[in-house]
Amino acid sequence: MRAWLWAGTLIVLAAAVGVACGGGGGGDGGGEAEPTPDRPTLEAMLTEISLKTEDLPSGFGEPTQSFTDNEQVAENDPEGPTAGLERVEGWGRLLGHDATFLVTDTVGTFTKGGTALVVSSISIFADEQGAVEAMQWGRDLLSNPADAATLIPNVSDLEGGPISFATIGDETVAAEFTGKTQPEGVQIKIEFTADIVVVRNGKGVAYIAVGAIGGAKPGPEVDQLIGILNDRLESVLR
């Protein structure tokens, strides 16, 4: 089974959550504004924060990864690219980084059950208040699976919503979704369970989406990976 038969579903689900999603709190916007880092500095910061293959359980390949500007993020916005770009720029999002990790043995994972896909996304904002506002927007979207379902092609029976999760960083939000995907040209429906966890630490926001197939659910790697991202946000941005 080729990975793209179902992986795109979770990738789009993660994108639908927004480049930065999660919970409230945060600064009051007071005080003197810090200078905005230039593009090379932002890329270096994001590279340092991002997940690496060695952070994941064994069996995952090298990631497909890229930096993401605001225009790219707005392309998948539920309210359209124009409204999305206006909102993201209003948050003061500076730059982001996305990475997608797939297991090397997709067929075996589908047959035996297990985690098969990890999507991570990081965004840096000009100030903490922008990160807070982005988190709240994502929290609202995660609270309504019906809204998320309209954004994902070839998916049926999508259910789920917020789940309890230990707070790390300044704030954390988590959700779990189950559903079935049947990509175009494929005769079978593939059941999946996806856990999405988002953390804000200062003016940085990171989320992971961990997808399992073959009747399995995401395991302890969810806690471990979001913990790694939170620690790196703390180290790089504080």
pLDDT in tens, 25-47: 333 444 455 788 999 999 999 99
β-sheet bridge partners, residue 177: 160, 194
Distance CA 110, CA 116 (A): 8
209 pLDDT more than 60 = yes
What's the confidence (pLDDT) of residue 167? 93
Higher pLDDT, 186 or 160: 160
The dihedral formed by the CA atoms of 222, 46, 235 and 128, expressed in degrees to the nearest 10: -90
Which tens digit of pLDDT belongs to each residue from 117-155? Answer: 898 999 999 999 999 998 888 888 777 766 655 555 567
The answer for residues whose C-beta is within 8 angstroms of residue 157's C-beta and 6 or more apart is: 178, 179, 180
How does the average pLDDT of the chain come out, rounded?
83
Classify residue 32: in a domain, yes or no.
Answer: no
Instruction: Tell me what pLDDT residue 89 has.
Output: 93
DSSP state of 25: -
How many residues in the chain? 238
Written as six digits, the tokens of 67 are 């930096």
pTM of the model: 0.85
Q: Count up the domains in the chain and report the number.
A: 1
Tokens found for residue 181: 């995907």
Residue 39 falls within a domain, yes or no? no
Question: Per the domain annotation, does 93 fall within a domain?
Answer: yes
Domain that includes residue 194, residue range: 4-23+50-237
Could you tell me if residue 35 is inside a domain? no
Residue 29 domain flag: no
* Max intra-chain CA distance, the chain: 59
Two structure tokens written together for 193: 């369970």
3-state helix, strand, coil in the chain (%, to 5): 35, 30, 35
Is residue 62 in some structural domain?
yes
Query: Which helix (H) or strand (E) covers residue 65, if one does?
Result: strand 64-68
Q: Is residue 123 part of a domain?
A: yes
Residue 23: the pLDDT is 30
31 lies in a domain? no
Rg of the chain over Cα atoms, rounded to whole angstroms, equals 17
CATH number at residue 18: 3.40.1000
> Which residue type occupies 26?
G
